[in-house]
Every structure is written in C-alpha cells, then in structure tokens.
C-alpha cells in the first residue's frame, strides 16, 4: 500500500483528501468518494498505485488531441476509479466499480516499467487516460517525472475536477490535456455527474493562462441534456472569451451507455448545430467525433480555409503543413510540433 500525497490530518483520526474538488473528509477505515483512497489509522493511502487496469499504444488523435504532436503514438494507461459518477460514462466498467462496490483490480506496473515499455514501443508521449487520472495522481506524477527525464511528453485526458494543489504539483511535467467540459449548467453536473461546473471552469482558465499546457476541450452532446442552442451559445462564448478562439473543441456523439441506455444517440442535426454555433462564435478548430462518415475531422487553415491536416480514422496526413504553417498562405496553425 502506498501513502497518498495531497491530504492533511484533521482532528485525529479524521483526514481530508485535497486531491480533487470534493475535498472528502474521510473517517478511519473509510474511503473517499472515488473509492480508491482510504484512511487507515489516520493516514491516507492510495489503493490503486501500480495497479494498471488498462494499457494500450494509441494514436494521439484518439485521446483526442488533434493539435499536439499529430501522427504520433502515445503509451496510454489507467487504473480503476473516478471521482465523478457520470450516468453516461463510456468507460464505466473500469471507472465506477471502486465507487460502487469497492472492486479494485489491475496488473502490477511501476513507473519504471511503464516508461521502459513506452520507450520500447517508440511512443512520443505517455497518456494518463481512460478513467480519471486525478485519482491515480501518485502513479501519474511519478511516471510523468520519469518520462520527462527520458524525453517523453506527458498528456492527460481529464474531467478537470482536480484541486489547484493537484494542478500545481503536475504543472512542470504535463505538456497537454484534453478536458471534458460536459455541459454549461450546474444542474447537469450535479444530477448526472455528481460534481459542480464552477471548479471545472476555474481549472480550464488556470490551465490555459497560468500552467500554459496545450489545451483541447471535449463536449459529449447528449440529447435533451446539454444540446440546446442556448446552452451551446453560453459554452462556446466561454471557450472563445476565456480560453481563446484557437482552443480546439471536440464535439462528441453520445451513444446509449451505462445508466443512460435508453437515451437515443445524438442526431446529425444536433451535432451540426453545435458545430455551426462554434463557428459563429469564432472558434478556429472544431471537430465532430464518434460519427463515422461525417467530414468534420480535418483541420482547415483559419486564414485561407485550405485543408492543412487530413484525418481518416486515426490516420493523419500532414503534407499541407510547412513547419506548422499553412502551405498555401503561410498562416500559423496553432498547436505543438505541427
């Protein structure tokens, strides 16, 4: 068992976890809301350190990160667990069991093993993904530092609900992040995810303006829940005014899953409406995901409209880019190592 970081003792034997915005108060022999951090005799332990539940070599586009080292492979892993309880979770079989019944499975992997394997597979980066990496912070942090020392980049795919302390601890070692902005109402976050919107917005601002990690945002569009024109106008206003029009926005199609098995998949019209609203607001890079056959995966130059990155599945053609600029008009295309 591994002692946790980012917690503090209160009146013994009560402790407070300070890893995410739930700031759980945890009694002895109890776990926090994520189900992977336990108070044992007044000390907080992380139960998922080195217990890897999913691991793959993925295209970086699969995260999705479209403007960060496109065309490269990222060594991706997760432990079980999540600090949110989204009714529509698409990875619920590994994210939710620790919360629901305490199940916590995984294969033993140390940071050294993970980095060695990433190097052996010629990955350009390591991705902390699939479940919520915040709840395997200690394993991520140790692995990210080792990865950096071995000239690998580090990327996160996150719900953005970590604490400021967590972000600051990761600050020097993370290069890019895709944050789920699930909707733009407190009611949705509370009812469908067991969380709050405001800390996610605050973290997005902080990541963009202070930490300066490369940032992309994903919104899963769920029929009747977060797809009204009013809400999408507010959400895209935030993206443009607070994070900048160069922030890539991935609109993702919902499929019935987990506790929302009876909700229909997102319609083509709804995806198109979100796309058009984003365009009207001035977002330069908008993509639609989980919708085969829809031609909104490519990157077009915001200056002249020329297609500069062509994507097919997870295949990428970069021939219309010249040192990160459009081959037709020379305008800079935003991103890292384009």
Which residues would be at the binding site for ligand SF4 (CB under 6 A)? 17, 19-20, 22-24, 32-34, 37, 83, 135
C-alpha span between 298 and 85 (Å, rounded): 32
- Min dist CB 27 to ligand SF4, Å, is 12
Of the pair 190, 209, the CB lying nearest ligand SF4 is at 190
Of the pair 85, 125, the CB lying nearest ligand SF4 is at 85
Residue 82 marked ligand-binding = yes
Of the pair 32, 106, the CB lying nearest ligand SF4 is at 32
- Min dist CB 38 to ligand SF4, Å, is 9
Are residues 49 and 2 in contact, defined by beta-carbon separation less than 8 angstroms? yes
Of the pair 199, 278, the CB lying nearest ligand SF4 is at 199
Residue 86 marked ligand-binding = yes
Of the pair 8, 230, the CB lying nearest ligand SF4 is at 8
Location of structure tokens 């969380």: 195
- Min dist CB 177 to ligand SF4, Å, is 17
Closest CA to 133 of 100, 176, 73, 69: 176
- Min dist CB 285 to ligand SF4, Å, is 32
Residue 329 marked ligand-binding = no
Residue number of the CB closest to ligand SF4 reads 32
> What residues are designated binding site for [4Fe-4S] cluster?
82, 86, 89
Name the binding residues.
82, 86, 89
């Amino acid at each position: 068992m591994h002692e946790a970081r980012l917690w503090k003792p209160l009146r013994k034997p009560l402790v407070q976890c300070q890893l995410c915005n739930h700031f759980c108060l945890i009694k002895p022999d109890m776990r926090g809301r994520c189900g992977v951090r336990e108070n044992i005799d007044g000390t907080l332990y992380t139960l998922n350190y080195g217990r890897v539940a999913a691991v793959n070599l993925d295209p970086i586009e699969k995260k999705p990160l479209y403007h960060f080292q496109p065309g490269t492979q990222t060594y991706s892993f997760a432990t079980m667990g999540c600090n949110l309880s989204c009714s529509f979770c698409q990875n619920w079989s590994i994210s939710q069991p620790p919360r629901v019944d305490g199940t916590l499975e995984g294969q033993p992997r140390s940071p050294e093993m993970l980095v060695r394997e990433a190097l052996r597979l010629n990955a350009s980066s390591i991705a902390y993904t699939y479940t919520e990496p915040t709840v395997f912070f200690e394993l991520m942090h140790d692995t990210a530092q080792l990865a950096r020392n071995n000239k690998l980049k580090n990327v996160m795919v996150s719900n953005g609900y970590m604490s400021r302390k967590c972000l600051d601890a990761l600050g020097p070692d993370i290069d890019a992040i895709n944050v789920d902005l699930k909707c733009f109402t407190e009611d949705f976050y509370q009812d469908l995810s067991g969380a709050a919107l405001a800390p996610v917005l605050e973290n997005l601002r902080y990541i963009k303006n202070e930490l300066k990690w490369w940032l992309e945002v994903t919104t899963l569009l769920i029929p009747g829940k977060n797809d009204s024109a009013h809400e999408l106008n507010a959400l895209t206003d935030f993206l443009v005014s607070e994070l900048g029009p160069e922030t890539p926005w991935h609109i993702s199609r919902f499929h019935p899953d987990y506790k929302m098995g009876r909700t229909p998949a997102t319609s083509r019209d709804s995806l198109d409406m979100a796309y058009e609203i984003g365009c009207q607001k001035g977002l330069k890079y908008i993509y639609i995901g989980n919708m085969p056959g829809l031609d909104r995966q490519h990157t077009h130059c915001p200056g002249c409209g020329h297609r500069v990155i062509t994507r097919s599945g997870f295949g990428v053609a970069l021939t219309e880019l010249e040192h990160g600029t459009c081959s037709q008009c020379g305008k800079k295309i935003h991103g890292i190592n384009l």
